Amino acid sequence: MIKILRQIFRTGIVTEPLHPGVDAGIRMSGRDLDETVRKRFRGSLTIRQVDAGSCNGCELEIHAINNSYYNCERFGIHFAASPRFADLLLVTGPVSRNMEIALRRTFDATPPPKMVVACGDCAIDGGVFRGGYAVMDGIANVIPVDCSIAGCPPPPDKILAALLQMTGQGKS
Amino acid sequence: MSALADALSSALGTDAEFDRSPHPSSVIRCTVPREKFAEAAGILKKAYALLAAEWAADETLLGRGFSVFACYRWGKEYLIVRSELPAEDPRFPSLTRKYLPAYRFERQIQSLMGVNPSDHPDMRPWIKLEDWPEDAFPLRKSFDGSKPLPRVDGEYQWSRAEGEGVYEIPVGPVHAGIIEPGHFRFQAVGEMVVNLEERLGYVHKGIEKRFESLSWEEGVKLAGRVSGDTTVAHAIAYCMALESMTGCSVPERAHWMRALLLERERIANHLGDIGGICNDAAFAFMLYQLSRLREVMLRTNDRLFGHRLIMDRVVPGGVGVDIDGPGKTEILSELNLIAKDFERLVQIYDDNPSLEDRVRDTGILTPRKAREICAVGIVARASGLNLDCRIFHPFPPYDRYHELELGVPVMITGDVHARTRVRIQEVRESIRITRWILDNMPGGAIASPFERPSPDTAGFAAVEGWRGEIIYWTQAGLQGEINRCMVRDPSSLNWIGLEQAIPGNIVPDFPLCNKSFNQSYSGHDL
């Protein structure tokens, strides 16, 4: 036990203030979010992440926003195991044909008001997989998307900045 | 000659026709009549070979029918047995009764290529879900890959268990965490799992077909996205397969740079995995500590190589990034920091009885089963199989055995603890050889011009990624374009290992076992 405590004190707090220079580079879609909805989610945002055919690169970076450097929990952002508890679906991948139905069902299972974020280049338009027989070329072709984060994969500071900007917490 | 080739030629005589062309030099190639395809497998099994991969290729554009291939490995030798099949009757004798992993390879061949293994015990489609048209075979040349498929009605026949108190738990494809999708179906009595059946294929993106519409140069970008966590190893394997087609000589320094990136990828992923395993045993402290170390590595990658996961930095003919003096110093000081903290954390892992209670004797894959399923990589090494391409199939600098003295950890208990322990040992070893690589790296160019392969040639490469051996087999068409690019991620073999390790465990231990295997869904589904 003493070793664990020592290691914790030795490490100290590594969490960084969110770099002001980070441009979230997000694209808001035409779907306008009600200002009250945004306000309600501010400081408490529950995310259900759905992999709809990604290569696992985006998942690694989404995991990283949980680590001590980015510490998304300090902004009240946390990940839920079920879509029924979620305010926001964070979707990655070009939507493989085999995930299309599962993605629609997850969307339907999420209680309104809800937001959808397409994370990564292939979530936006299919990326390197675009045009194949087994992909739907982007999340927006399957469920309505509120905002998208470009990058292959987008780095964690960008993902975090985008989530904050969505709920009006970030520096816009 | 090699032991495998000798065994084959002495048993089959002139029926085994060896391909004497110089490339690819890393693998022995042999053609047998299709009636002898399964017989050859039996002969090779008696010579202790393990099955590494099985696949089919549509060669109609090359003026032939289909071909079916099986790749075997024994020690340092790789051998590919090929049989030609006529286009109008593409059947071949199944290997499943001789080699267990052929079970999934052949289901996949049937589902995606429409080449039929006769005498296969279970012909349910694989990767192709029940709502695909039955006659859609995307890997065939006659299939138009640019338009989406219609959905049809269908039903998947799950294996069932019946009896008093037996119940079923379906899980997925959307899991309760930030992970990839797949479906698991447990039959359990009380808390104990009686049977686990996996169904994968949810992230199938048609990668192998996609390769065929790309140029060789564009292909490496796709190869780097077969499995995003293994991007370096997949890119290296793709490039090496391509280079083996022409005998293109890659500069020494480029090889060393590749090895450097490969080891960095291994360390970063192992750090994340060890943390993840501890977290699934409710010891979150380790996850946060090790994710911190992982983050330090990814940031160094970003500064030195311009990408956190080092995507798109390996190119045909060499690499696209170099390292200078200050870069070397930065990596060395970063490794010192990581090594010091890592050792403290390993000490905490070892000292913690509540953790040990969860990881020991949980999710055992016995050495016998590991051999039967032809496991590779960390899973194999935790179950007594001494396999590592860096030793048995090396590219420079790994071929300098005596200077490098690469230690490959092998455990025989095959439980979650063994798989963690193998990773711990590999992190230490990779840190050591990264230092050695940086100190001894030769100078010179980092890439040589890439040559286009000549028509109707093939290439082969096997590379040890952090999960295990990755195999690429490439084939050029009549214009020297990509006719087929076969990808075999270690997950294709090791997923069967998970299915074998779970029965007898309690349901709540499944996430822990799954994390200790940590196989790729994307690399398997393609």
When CB atoms are compared, the residue of A14, A51, A55 closest to B181 is A51
Q: Are the Cβ atoms of B180 and A7 closer than 8 angstroms?
A: no
Q: Are residues B96 and B216 in the same domain?
A: no
Q: Sorting pLDDT into bands at 50, 70 and 90, what band is B25?
A: confident
| Chain A residues closer than 8 Å to B231 by CB | 57
The three-state (H, E, C) secondary structure of B501-526, written as one string: HCCCCEHHHHHHHHHHHCCCHHHHHC
Domain carrying residue B14: 3-118
**Token representation of residue B155:** 């039903």
| Chain A residues closer than 8 Å to B522 by CB | 53-56
Is residue B153 a part of any domain in this protein?
A: no
Q: Find the mean pLDDT for residues B247-266.
A: 92
**Token representation of residue A37:** 């909805």
| Chain B residues closer than 8 Å to A102 by CB | 173-174, 181, 202
Restricting to A residues 42-81, those with a Cβ less than 8 Å away from any Cβ of B are: 49-64, 66-69, 79, 81
The CATH number assigned to the domain holding B96 equals 3.30.460.80
**Tens digit of each residue's pLDDT (9 = 90 or more) over B316-338:** 989 999 999 899 999 999 999 99
Please, is B147 exposed, middle or buried when counting C-beta atoms within 10 Å of its C-beta (0-12, 13-18, 19+)? exposed
Residue of A nearest to B225 (CA): A55
Restricting to B residues 266-285, those with a Cβ less than 8 Å away from any Cβ of A are: 272, 285
User: What's the confidence (pLDDT) of residue A13?
Assistant: 86
Restricting to B residues 116-135, those with a Cβ less than 8 Å away from any Cβ of A are: 129
When CB atoms are compared, the residue of A56, A82, A129 closest to B229 is A56
Taking Cα atoms as reference points, which of B131, B96, B82 lies closest to residue B111? B131
User: What's the confidence (pLDDT) of residue A172?
Assistant: 39
The three-state (H, E, C) secondary structure of B371-403, written as one string: HHCCCCHHHHHHCCCCCCHHHHCCCCCCCCHHH
- CATH number for the domain running over A2-166: 3.40.50.12280
Three-point CA angle A60, A65, A71, nearest 5°: 145
Q: Is the pLDDT of residue B123 over 80?
A: yes
Q: Are residues B99 and B248 in the same domain?
A: no
**Tens digit of each residue's pLDDT (9 = 90 or more) over A15-28:** 888 766 666 666 66
User: What's the confidence (pLDDT) of residue B154?
Assistant: 83
Q: Find the mean pLDDT for residues B67-71.
A: 94
| Chain B residues closer than 8 Å to A82 by CB | 176
Q: Are residues B98 and B222 in the same domain?
A: no
Q: Sorting pLDDT into bands at 50, 70 and 90, what band is A34?
A: low
**Tens digit of each residue's pLDDT (9 = 90 or more) over B358-386:** 999 999 999 999 999 999 999 999 999 99
User: What's the confidence (pLDDT) of residue B300?
Assistant: 94
Shortest Cα distance from B174 to chain A (angstroms)?
A: 7
- Residue B197, CA distances (Å) to B109, B169, B406, B499 in order: 20, 11, 37, 7
Is residue B444 a part of any domain in this protein?
A: yes
Q: Are the Cβ atoms of A51 and B227 closer than 8 angstroms?
A: no
Q: Are the Cβ atoms of B345 and A7 closer than 8 angstroms?
A: yes
**Tens digit of each residue's pLDDT (9 = 90 or more) over A39-66:** 777 778 899 999 999 999 999 999 999 9
Question: B306: helix, coil or strand?
Answer: coil
Q: How far apart are CA A24 and CA B98, in angstroms?
A: 54
Q: Which of B75, B93, B118 is the last residue of a domain?
A: B118
When CB atoms are compared, the residue of B309, B347, B348 closest to A60 is B309
Q: Are residues B277 and B419 in the same domain?
A: yes
Q: How far apart are CA B416 and CA B464, in angstroms?
A: 21
Is residue B174 a part of any domain in this protein?
A: no
Shortest Cα distance from B345 to chain A (angstroms)?
A: 8
Q: Which of B76, B100, B118 is the last residue of a domain?
A: B118
**Tens digit of each residue's pLDDT (9 = 90 or more) over A72-120:** 888 888 899 888 999 999 999 999 999 999 999 999 999 988 889 999 9
Q: How far apart are CA B31 and CA B89, in angstroms?
A: 18
DSSP structural state of residue B15: G
Q: What is the mean pLDDT of chain B?
A: 91
How many domains in chain B? Answer: 2
**Token representation of residue B357:** 């209670």
When CB atoms are compared, the residue of B210, B225, B272 closest to A55 is B225
The predicted model scores a pTM of: 0.93
Q: Find the mean pLDDT for residues B506-518.
A: 92
User: What's the confidence (pLDDT) of residue A171?
Assistant: 45
Question: B194: helix, coil or strand?
Answer: strand
Parallel, antiparallel or unpaired: strands A88-92 and A115-119? parallel
- CB-based contacts of B351, cutoff 8 Å, min separation 6: A3
The residue among B191 and A35 whose pLDDT is bigger is B191
Give me the percent of chain B exceeding a pLDDT of 90: 67
Q: How far apart are CA B84 and CA A47, in angstroms?
A: 52
Largest CA distance in chain A: 57
Which of A61, A67, A70, A119 to probe the B interface (max B CBs under 10 A)? A67
